[in-house]
Amino acid sequence: MKTERKTILLTNDDGIDAEGIYSLYRTFKKDGRFDLRVVAPDKESSAVGHAITVFRPISVIKNYQEGEFFGYAVDGTPADCVKLAIGAILDRPPDLLISGINRGPNMGENIIYSGTVSAATEGTVCGVSSIALSADDLQNPDYSYASGFALRMATKILENGGLPGGTLLNINIPSLEKDKIKGVKLTVQSDIGFKDNFVKRQDPRGRDYYWMDGVFLERNVSEDSDYNAVKNGYVSVTPIHYDMTDYKSFDHFKGWNMEKLK
Amino acid sequence: MKTERKTILLTNDDGIDAEGIYSLYRTFKKDGRFDLRVVAPDKESSAVGHAITVFRPISVIKNYQEGEFFGYAVDGTPADCVKLAIGAILDRPPDLLISGINRGPNMGENIIYSGTVSAATEGTVCGVSSIALSADDLQNPDYSYASGFALRMATKILENGGLPGGTLLNINIPSLEKDKIKGVKLTVQSDIGFKDNFVKRQDPRGRDYYWMDGVFLERNVSEDSDYNAVKNGYVSVTPIHYDMTDYKSFDHFKGWNMEKLK
């Protein structure tokens, strides 16, 4: 009996024409074991967090790369793409979702702003095993190692029958040549973030406006963190979830007698 | 010696002209113990998640209510408002941030899309004790009880020297008259969410477009959850954080031998 081929949905936040998603596509297509679907934003959608589009309709057009049908370009956010793919465009839910490869890292508290991570979170919300993949290089990322790693990870996940319900993997790849990469580490989210900087100006009518900028801020970087792994040449794999409950604070708040605030 | 007056920053995602934020303002102003600052989006920004604006400048104008200066209206997201307030508009960080009162609940997995919760999360990222406040009524919310509760909770938080670092409170108020509210419960985030529905249409040029819609989906609703508390007439207070690490999955993944995926 023929084993049913698995379907993989590719999406991102850099836009459907970005090199990162196309590198994944080529690598998986060459491997030949999986059916690929691409549903991605029609333009760059970085820093959109987990936004969804509810106040206007979302248009979807077919996208072609090198003369061949590539996928669906959506004028929405990464989370919109995933909702639309699973809820309307695909015949059945994919067996795996891969979001990326992002140009630049998604680590520490910065993942709350990340469209790349948000797409994988949305996949998980929709019940699909999902991973977010980012290359730690904003300038000239080489996606070939990251794409090969994604293929090995996808195989591993599908061999294991998927990820545990509610869990996704946030993966960051160091900016190193293949033989310089030291290994793969299971990590926790670090405390690194940005310190905001604002440049204030006035428009010709005298109204204030601001440009947002930021400087990198390294706080507590624990030995087992995403940031520390990548800095030391390891691929970082952080299992994350969207249950934001801060269970460890419950003991603290029990002393507050909140019921008296009624 | 005179005790220094505490400063409270009010923001929201329904926009600076929404009744919810103005109700908070009136209640705290009448109380008279705190200095108030308002920095909020200039228009409704629901479902924007934790988006920030990095590709264009953000304009800020003064907003007036009933002829008096009320606060700063920002053409950005709720997270932008908080970053701008703390990083550029205010002389010093506020002692407390209150985001809301949102028209409609923010519970379960839906909080990942919430601009209201995102503003409070951003406050926490910036080191400010922050709460998100939502009224479980999309139609005709009565904000007077919620505003009074916010005042009692603000007092409690400031008396205790603030919230624990990294923790914020996500508060949902039942849609009931004051004497019908049964009490206050410390809760966990539930699994409730939406099942997406898409309405597909074609524009006059034959291009597909979709309207996103959804039906309410009740999954496992545990006894101690946000949803269960509000449904039973209690104010729900969920301590949440932005460490998305899924610690409980680590044992599962240790068996995967990820280091071999290098």
Mean pLDDT of A94-110: 96
Residue A11 has a pLDDT of 98
Residue B221 has a pLDDT of 85
Task: Write down all domains in chain A, each with its CATH number in brackets.
Answer: 6-191+221-261 (3.40.1210.10)
Residue B182 makes CB contacts below 8 A (sequence gap 6+) with B232, B233, B234
**How close B99 comes to chain A (CA, Å)?**
17
Dist. CA B87–CA A102, nearest whole Å:
28
Residue A194 has a pLDDT of 83
Residue A8 has a pLDDT of 98
- Contact between residue B72 and residue B36 where contact means Cβ atoms under 8 Å apart: no
Inform me whether the pLDDT recorded for A2 exceeds 70: no
At residue A29 the predicted structure's pLDDT band, cuts being 50, 70 and 90, is very high
Inform me whether the pLDDT recorded for B180 exceeds 70: yes
From the CB of residue B151, how many other CB atoms can be counted at a distance below 10 Å? Answer: 20
Inform me whether the pLDDT recorded for A220 exceeds 90: no
Higher pLDDT, B33 or B204: B33
Inform me whether the pLDDT recorded for B207 exceeds 90: no
Model ipTM?
A: 0.93
Angle of helix A143-159 relative to helix A19-31, nearest 10 degrees, comes to 50
- Contact between residue A253 and residue B241 where contact means Cβ atoms under 8 Å apart: no
Inform me whether the pLDDT recorded for B232 exceeds 90: yes
Per DSSP, A1 falls in state -
Dist. CA B169–CA B131, nearest whole Å:
5
At residue A3 the predicted structure's pLDDT band, cuts being 50, 70 and 90, is low
Q: Does A193 touch chain B (CB under 8 A)?
A: yes
Q: Name the A residues in 17-36 with CB < 8 Å from any B CB.
A: none
Inform me whether the pLDDT recorded for B219 exceeds 80: no
β-pair partners for A227? none
Higher pLDDT, A221 or A151: A151
Interchain pair B59, A254: CB under 8 A: no
Mean pLDDT of A34-39: 98
Query: What is the residue-averaged pLDDT of chain B?
Result: 94
Residue A253 has a pLDDT of 96
β-pair partners for A201? A209
Residues A135-191: pLDDT tens digits? Answer: 998 887 889 999 999 999 999 999 999 999 999 999 999 999 999 999 999 999 998
Lowest mean pLDDT among A72-76, A128-132, A169-173, A204-208: A204-208
Interchain pair B84, A198: CB under 8 A: yes
Task: Please report the beta strands in A104-175, taking only residues with DSSP state E, as ranges in sequence order.
Answer: 130-135, 168-173
Residue B171 has a pLDDT of 98
Residues B3-32: pLDDT tens digits? Answer: 689 999 999 999 999 999 999 999 999 999
Q: Does A222 touch chain B (CB under 8 A)?
A: no
Dist. CA B199–CA B213, nearest whole Å:
8
Residue B172 has a pLDDT of 98
Find which of B13, B112, B178, B228 to mutate to test the A interface (most A CBs within 10 Å of its CB).
Answer: B112
Dist. CA A182–CA A49, nearest whole Å:
31
Q: Structure tokens of B242?
A: 């932005």
Inform me whether the pLDDT recorded for B2 exceeds 60: no
**How close A208 comes to chain B (CA, Å)?**
6
**DSSP reduced 3-state for A217:** strand
Residue B209 has a pLDDT of 93
Q: Please give the residue of chain B at the shortest CA–CA distance from A77.
A: B48
Dist. CA B106–CA B47, nearest whole Å:
11
Residues B62-115: pLDDT tens digits? Answer: 999 999 999 999 999 999 999 999 999 999 999 999 999 999 999 999 999 999
Rg (CA), chain A: 20
B50 vs A contacts (CB less than 8 Å): 49-50, 112-113
Per DSSP, A223 falls in state T
At residue A24 the predicted structure's pLDDT band, cuts being 50, 70 and 90, is very high
Strands B58-65 and A208-217: antiparallel
Interchain pair B181, A262: CB under 8 A: yes
Lowest mean pLDDT among A71-85, A110-124, B92-106, B184-198: B184-198
Half-sphere exposure of A60 (CA within 13 A, CB side): 24
Query: What is the residue-averaged pLDDT of chain A?
Result: 94
